[in-house]
Structure 1
Amino acid sequence: MKEEKVDLTRIIQKKFSRLSKGQKLIAQYIINEYDKAAFMTASKLGNKVGVSESTVVRFANALGYDGYPQLQKELQELVKTKLTTVQRLEMSKDYKDGGTVLKKVLKADMDNIRHMIDELDDKLFQSVIDKILEADRVYIVGLRSSSTLAEYLGFYLNLVLDNVRVVRLGVSDVFEQILRVKEGDLVIGISFPRYSKITLNALNYTKEQGATIVGLTDSKVSPITEIADYTLTARSNMASFVDSLVAPLSLINALIVALGMKERDKISTTFNKLENIWKKQNVYDNKDGSSL
């Protein structure tokens, strides 16, 4: 296994002098072009630097990994946390043709959901549902690109529960909005690469106040996992300047549905009232196309 949790480049530098000539070529390429190497197969990486595929595998072993897939996973974590949007745009060169873009993006989204299905712990998921229902108040913190997920979750949770607050960047400072958080409250922190420092700082504050923290993030090495009491993961991998939020949104949908089923009688009454209000206020179009 790897010697350090995240900094792969430091591991390479530490072991560089003991590597073979071919392995040193791989190491140098990864240090200089880790954004490109992260999405190369062992064979392609070997061809790029002029060594065999087996040399690439032995290189991964020399660094302390069980095999190349484990090394590649670490490389991809490095990409997600350290690349700027400009560098990630450079990675998107393969997305030139419209049809190629469509298929590649859809396939990546499908892969992310498939991995989430395989990796999600049902007992952990149920524990999170129970904790949300037990909480005095529920705060949702998700900023920057994660704000869309936070707003979506907040919109539906407010229909199921009556103690939900979405923390937003705006007129009020984030810390002003969570000032009264206390023991017995639950904070849902949503953070996907590139991880927002404000989100992490806010979660650290709420944990200091005794609140229970639920993290929604992309992997077990995300910085949010060190703060959260419960962590649910959904991959957001996308070799482009944007992250995929499809799997995270599916995870949030599952949370909403599970909570709704637990509170079925309550939300039935709520929706009956809402339907009457929507009808009177002409909120939605009628089936015949006339505006209601």
Structure 2
Amino acid sequence: MSISERILSISETLSKKQNLLGKFIVDNIFEAAMMNAPQIAGRAGVSKATLTRFVHTLGFESFADFHTELRKETLRNQEMKFRQEPYLDSNNSVYQKVFDLEMELMREALENMEQEIFEKSAEMLFEADQVMLVGGPIHNFLAFYAGNFMCGFRDNVRVVSQRDMEFLSLLRNAGQKSCALVFSYPRYSQEVQTITEMLSEKKVPVIGMTDSKLSPIVPFAKYTLLTPQKYIILADASASAMALIHSLMVAMYRKHSDRIRGMLEKYEKDILTTDMFVYKDYNFVKQL
């Protein structure tokens, strides 16, 4: 029996508030599957205690058990695995709708952030003997964004887009002291999935940046960082993912500023010998 069927079968025995909560979940099951407990309770207009009693009534020992089953159930539904909004359902401007969506996902990502996992991920990215940034053919723009700036913080940073000779060479010399930051978002690139499994076989620690704990890369990741997704059209809503990458680099600098500052000073010095920027006199390192 599905969760929706369970809710409907006991609706007559539920309290008024529990029925309100049950109706919200049944009517918004895909949305609820991407929310945490405070978000579901808040959207349904009930307390977190009511939500706790509700999941116990459904036969679950905890909200975590209920939520895991809800996510699995929605992913088994082949008609709609991912959250998507109609692009013509608002009187607002297009840019207002897109900006609102990005800000909603930013708030959702922040509410679900696990600080300990974040800090351990930043530390691993700094201490590893080499870092592979895996974006595959679809999300390599995130890998390139991370690599463009991370290479100023540390050596041996490589972007991996496919299984080519360069990747196989990197993999041959990789192991437990290396690490990989893997980007995987719906509909989940098969190339990224295969690369992730190859890294796991070589015992390379993987930090998975993805939209869901049920993402196919999660079983192969040592740490998982979540930035939820919701679509209007084909394009990804990537503001929260890029903010998380930015946050990881700030965290690396904050913890190891004495070691990173020297590399940044060399970077700024090298810039003066090139004609890279129009404004050559501003030095970011001096402001740190």
Shift of 1:144: 2.8
Question: What is the one-letter code of the residue matched to 2:208?
Answer: G
2:263 is the alignment partner of 1:273: no
Distance of 2:204 and 2:93 partners within structure 1: 46
Is residue 194 of structure 1 aligned with residue 190 of structure 2?
Answer: no
**Deviation readout 1:131-169 (Å, 9 max, x if unpaired):** 223322211111233111111111211111112221124
Counterpart secondary structure, 1:181:
coil
> What is the 5 A alignment of 1:135-174?
135-169=128-162, 172=165, 174=167
Whole-Å Cα distance in 2 between the matches of residues 149 and 243 of structure 1? Answer: 11
- CA shift, 1:210, in A, is 1.2
How many Å separate the matches in 2 of 1:170 and 1:120?
31
How far apart are 1:237 and its partner, in Å? 1.5
In structure 2, give the amino acid aligned to 1:117: L
Aligned to 2:54: none
Paired residue for 2:125? 132
Matches within 5 A, 1:18-29: none
1:120 equivalent in alignment to 2:113: yes
SS at the partner of 2:207? Answer: strand
Q: Is the 8 A contact 1:150 1:190 kept in 2?
A: yes
In structure 2, the residue corresponding to 1:223 is in which secondary structure?
coil
Counterpart of 1:218 (choices 189, 211, 219) is 211
What is the CA RMSD across the aligned residues, in angstroms? 4.0
> Which is helix-richer, 1 or 2?
1
Partner of 1:246: 239
Give SS of 2:111's match: helix
Aligned in 2, Cα 1:77/1:255: closer, same or farther, shift over 3 Å?
A: farther
Matches within 5 A, 1:1-292: 74=71, 78=75, 91-94=86-89, 99-169=92-162, 172=165, 174-286=167-279
Residue segments in structure 2 that go unaligned for 5+ positions in a row: 10-27, 33-57, 282-288
Secondary structure in 2 aligned to 1:210?
coil
Given that residues 236 and 248 in structure 1 are in contact (C-alpha distance below 8 angstroms), is that contact kept between their aligned partners in structure 2? no
Distance 1:133 1:273, change over 3 A: closer
Q: TM-score, normalised by structure 2?
A: 0.67
The answer to whether the Cα contact below 8 Å between 1:190 and 1:216 also exists between their aligned partners in 2 is: yes
The TM-score, its normalising length taken from structure 1, stands at: 0.66
Residue type at the aligned position of 2:183: I
- What whole-Å deviation, never above 9, does each CA across 1:79-111 have from its counterpart, x for those lacking one? 998779xxx7x943437x7x5211111111111
2:172 and 2:276 mapped to 1: Cα distance? 35
Check the 8 A contact 1:112/1:247 in 2, yes or no.
Answer: yes
How far off is 1:283 after superposition?
1.3
The SS at the match of 1:270 is helix
- What residue number does 1:28 align with? none
Identify which range, 249-258 or 171-180, moves more after superposition. 171-180
Mapped to 1, the partners of 2:123 and 2:260 lie a distance apart of: 17
Residue 152 of structure 2 aligns to a residue in which SS? Answer: helix
1:22-65, Cα deviation, whole Å (9 max, x unpaired): xxxxxxxxxxxxxx99579xxxxxxxxxxxxxxxxxxxxxx989
Sequence identity, in percent? 26
Residues in 1 aligned to 2:89 and 2:163: alpha-carbon distance in whole angstroms: 37
Q: State the one-letter code of the partner of 1:94.
A: D
The verdict on how the C-alpha distance between 1:257 and 1:242 changes in structure 2, with shifts beyond 3 A counting, is same
Question: Counterpart of 1:283 in 2: which secondary structure?
Answer: coil
Change (3 A) 1:77 1:274: farther
Runs of 4+ in 1 over 6 A off after TM superposition: 63-66, 79-84
Gaps of 5+ in 1: 4-10, 20-35, 41-62
Q: Decide whether the 8 Å contact of 1:213 with 1:230 is kept in 2.
A: yes
Q: State the aligned residue count.
A: 236
Instruction: Return the alpha-carbon distance in structure 1 between the equivalents of residues 93 and 74 of structure 2.
Output: 25
